[in-house]
Chains A and B, each alone.
Chain A
Amino acid sequence: MPVTRRVNKDFPSPELPFHYRRQPRSGNEINGLGERAFRRAVQVFHGSGARELEWRKLELFFALINPFRVYWLNLVNRWLLRRADGSIAKTRQPVADPVAMAEAIKQRARELGAGAVGIAPLTEKALYQGYQPDYPHAIVVLMPMDSREMAFVTTNRAGAETMRAYMEITRTVIALAEHIRAMGWRARAFGEAADILHIPLAIDAGLGQLGKHGSLICREFGSSMRIATVLTDLPLAHDQAVDIAVDDLCLGCRRCTLDCPVDAIADHKQMVRGEEKWYVDFDKCAPYFTHTVGCGICIEVCPWTIPGRGPSLSQKLLSKRSHGTL
């Protein structure tokens, strides 16, 4: 049965009822917009607590104006995350075939509720400055959100659904990490507000590509999903990055650009810390995001997010490209 979506186009005004008296250092500058050399990212907003955030006041304001249900779910999620690491079995199960092991781990993740799962090496671009975890592999898990609830973006209802999905994916990666530790290997689960960047890992793990709106786009769920990761030393074969033709659509599509009330989404790729990529203006996005319980307009209006649309859209775009008709 097709899922009907109600995208509320009557989004809140970009005129915000709050502002900084003294504007903090630009998040774009901190994030390395315009920088041609690679360096690691620095946390600006929604941090892990590892450093004093430049936009700390907005972060706290966001937490305090959230409805209690959203705030409460965040606290519950933090409580669950205490089990992100734990005891490792004394006897280590040997791994003769990393390919077969990777398949078995993915199967286990799916049994635990993962919507999609991929495996990538842990690389520098997925790490924040000053953080050096000692794990070679990242198992990246995606969890779709309920599209009927997310149709109410900018309201408490969609905010609560986002937190519910975070909790669900947290449970999944915790259980997956426990499963690996029971095999005698190190494994640590990472959910929201982590010390790692999930999106670069998800891209390397073949789960999707970066969209114009700065979020991951995957074939199955568009951008309406949450990402979490398990870092481990369990020998695993890595997946390859995929091309699902995200750029083919994003280069011509202007849905998120036009619908973003604060014009935070650019129509062209930009140089960010040595990589040419889609980039969202942090200074414009974050205050509106705060005002609208996590916003999500760009994700909701994205053609890839329409339930069931992704696979056929990808196929059509790839076919057009191969026939040179784009």
Chain B
Amino acid sequence: MASFEQEFYLENPGRWQVLRRDVRLLLRLASYALLWLTRGVLVRRAYRRAQRNGKPLELESVIGD
């Protein structure tokens, strides 16, 4: 697995490398934002329900492998 640094830090990059990196990073961050807005809604709903009911939520039931 590549770390954030290995993926997005560029030493002495060319113009195209910078552009490609920026586009890839934007897409990655957009996917994270989308995750919060989609799966995150379900997770937060289940979390709130667990807080209300007093029945603990199993992480595996909302976060898959």
Contacts and interface: CB of A to CB of B under 8 A. Distances in A.
* Chains A and B come from one and the same complex: yes
Interface of A: 16-22, 48-52, 57-58, 60-61, 63-65, 68, 71-72, 75, 78-79, 81-82, 84-88, 131, 186, 188, 190, 193-195
25 contacts: A17-B56, A18-B50, A18-B58, A19-B59, A20-B59, A50-B3, A52-B1, A57-B60, A57-B63, A58-B59, A61-B62, A64-B35, A71-B36, A72-B33, A75-B32, A78-B4, A79-B26, A81-B8, A82-B21, A82-B25, A84-B5, A85-B11, A86-B10, A87-B12, A194-B5
Given A20-B58, A20-B60, A61-B43, 6 more contacts: A18-B50, A19-B56, A49-B7, A82-B21, A86-B12, A194-B5
A229 to B, nearest CB: 12
B29 A81 contact: no
Given A64-B36, A88-B11, A21 B59 contact: yes
A84 B9 contact: yes
A86 B15 CA distance: 11
B58 to A, nearest CB: 4
Contacts of B2: 49-50
A59 to B, nearest CB: 9
Interface string B31-45: 011011001100110
A231 to B, nearest CB: 10
Residue of A21, A82, A190 with most chain B CB atoms under a 10 A cut-off: A82
Contacts of A190: 5
A85 B9 contact: yes
B37 to A, nearest CB: 9
B21 to A, nearest CB: 6
A258 to B, nearest CB: 26
Contact of B1 (A50, A71, A75, A87): A50
B29 A79 contact: yes
Size bin of chain B's contact surface:
35 or more
Interface string B9-31: 11111000000011001100100
Contacts of B50: 17-18
A75 B21 contact: no
Contacts of B7: 49
Contact of A17 (B21, B29, B39, B47): B47
Nearest to B51: A17
Residue of A17, A48, A49, A51 with most chain B CB atoms under a 10 A cut-off: A17
A64 B39 contact: yes
A186 B11 CA distance: 8
A287 to B, nearest CB: 9
A36 to B, nearest CB: 29
Contact of B3 (A21, A186, A195): A195
Given A68-B36, A86-B10, A19 B43 contact: no
Contacts of A195: 3, 5
Contacts of B26: 79
